[in-house]
Amino acid sequence: MPTKVRDRLEAALDAIAGSGAAASTVMAKVHTEAARAAADAADARARLGLSLGALDGALVSIKDLLDEAGEVTTAGSRINRDLPPAKSDAPVVRRLRAAGAVIVGRTTMSEFAYSGIGINPHTGTPGNAADPTRVPGGSSSGAAVSVGRGWADIAIGSDTGGSIRIPSAFNGLVGFKPGGGRVPTEGAFPLSYTLDTIGPIARRVADTVAADAVLSGVAAPPSAPVAADGLRLAVPRGFLYSDLDGIVGPAVEAALGLLAKAGIRLFEVDLDAVVTLPLAIQKDVTITAIEAAHIHRDNLRDRAGDFDPRVLARIEKGAQASGATYVGMIRAREAAKAAVDAAFAPFDAVIAPTVPAVAPVIADLVDDDAAFTRANLTALRNTAIFNLFDLPAYSLPIEIGQPLPVGLMVVGRRGRDHDLMALAAALEPVLQPSPRTA
């Protein structure tokens, strides 16, 4: 007989409790009794032969920037601890509850979702699920680790510049960033109104598809599975493949070999003219920094000393930008989308390393601002490009026995999220012929 949801939940709660103080660096809040009630309700439905869908009874964690009625949405900050509890659930949280998901708790994150590394001086930094001495990736740091440690089946995170895909790559998980505007962001504490997205992290593509159907309110249409044989994937040698470290580079090349062996048609193309457009558009300041400066304008004035200094520095840079600069960037972004769409049109997807390097060691970054900045820029380099273009993207784990997790980013075409999901499901078994060691 299938394992009861309540039994699975109790095993997760025991594992969280058994992790001692380290648990608080991953889970900002554990909803023990509410989760038990939800698990019991799922088991009761199962006994009656009833189901609310694919997420009924799934253990789900949610990032601590999503509103839950009665909970303070801290967004990983000291400042937000003084906010009143949320009056209602965010739309995506309401949808999860209605689908029968068992919300285990709220996960920690980089302060205000503004880092691809996951170090947080206020809550502590979760150790990577594959190697606790290494960073988890951010900003959905606790989200990825909650899945990597088996405390949740699915984690709901946010992705403004890579915050779902980076921790997924660092922890050996599947992460999906939907196309811009597809999942409602109301009730999520914002980093960038323009670029924020909400999506799932899980161990399997199928779980991200099920979660996306609930989050977006649009289930994938029934269709025949996509065959790997015959897919047309662009391999944009150049910027996205430059400066790969000694683990990522060989792992990605091995993955390309596996894809080719599976009959997938790989086209080595030069897409630098379009993939580097975000650097040209944001050469002095980013859209995220400017919008974050607006969001935090009162706290910049009144509580600057309560920010993580590394986050504060980036927000303050945005505060120095002019309105004319911002408008010009927004218009240039919209114009660039057409060029990207045309360049991607001949292919089913574009593939590249999710992150050019494996997760760095926490101790190397905690007290070294220069090393942190370099690592953060490296982590965000490939992923942030596709937020600017509002394209859907996956990070899929490469499992060829390398010593640390490596992710392959698969980027779909605009408005073709469901096509990308089917494609990712076809690639998943090809990229995992053997378990990762250590």
CATH number of domain containing 36: 3.90.1300.10
- pLDDT tens digits for 182-204? 999 999 999 999 999 999 999 99
For the record, the structure tokens of 292 come out as 């974050």
Q: Does the pLDDT at position 436 exceed 80?
A: no
**Which domain range does residue 126 map to?**
5-216
Amino acid at 143: A
Among candidate residues 425, 157, 381, 393, the one with its CA nearest the CA of residue 278: 381
Q: Does the pLDDT at position 82 exceed 70?
A: yes
- Determine which one of 158, 163, 168, 192 is catalytic: 163
Q: How many domains does the chain have?
A: 1
Q: Which pTM was predicted?
A: 0.97
Q: Does the pLDDT at position 224 exceed 90?
A: no
Q: Does the pLDDT at position 425 exceed 60?
A: yes
Instruction: Give mean pLDDT, residues 293-309.
Output: 98
Q: Does the pLDDT at position 220 exceed 90?
A: no
Beta carbons of 173 and 202 less than 8 angstroms apart: yes
| Whole-angstrom distance, CA of residue 116 vs CA of residue 389 | 19
Is 63 a catalytic site residue? yes
Question: Would 35 be classed as within a structural domain?
Answer: yes
For the record, the structure tokens of 188 come out as 């999520």
pLDDT value, residue 419: 96
pLDDT value, residue 361: 98
- pLDDT tens digits for 45-74? 999 999 999 999 999 999 999 999 999 999
| Whole-angstrom distance, CA of residue 382 vs CA of residue 369 | 21
- pLDDT tens digits for 127-153? 999 999 999 999 999 999 999 999 999
Is 19 a catalytic site residue? no
Question: Would 188 be classed as within a structural domain?
Answer: yes
Question: Would 185 be classed as within a structural domain?
Answer: yes
Q: Does the pLDDT at position 434 exceed 80?
A: no
The overall average pLDDT reported for the chain is: 97
The confidence band for 408, taking pLDDT boundaries of 50, 70 and 90, is very high
Instruction: Give mean pLDDT, residues 211-223.
Output: 93
- Determine which one of 139, 141, 158, 216 is catalytic: 139
Q: How many CB atoms lie within 10 A of CB 305?
A: 8
Q: Does the pLDDT at position 1 exceed 70?
A: no
The confidence band for 228, taking pLDDT boundaries of 50, 70 and 90, is confident
Question: Would 46 be classed as within a structural domain?
Answer: yes
| Whole-angstrom distance, CA of residue 383 vs CA of residue 387 | 7
Burial of 17 (0-12, 13-18, 19+ CB in 10 A): exposed
Beta carbons of 156 and 200 less than 8 angstroms apart: yes
- pLDDT tens digits for 357-369? 999 999 999 999 9
Q: Does the pLDDT at position 401 exceed 60?
A: yes
Q: Does the pLDDT at position 435 exceed 70?
A: no
Question: Would 293 be classed as within a structural domain?
Answer: no
- Determine which one of 61, 63, 140, 395 is catalytic: 63
Q: Does the pLDDT at position 437 exceed 70?
A: no
For the record, the structure tokens of 433 come out as 């012929």
Q: Does the pLDDT at position 30 exceed 70?
A: yes
pLDDT value, residue 156: 99
Is 192 a catalytic site residue? no
Among candidate residues 295, 394, 379, 291, the one with its CA nearest the CA of residue 333: 291
Question: Would 250 be classed as within a structural domain?
Answer: no
Question: Would 350 be classed as within a structural domain?
Answer: no
Q: Does the pLDDT at position 438 exceed 70?
A: no
Question: Would 408 be classed as within a structural domain?
Answer: no
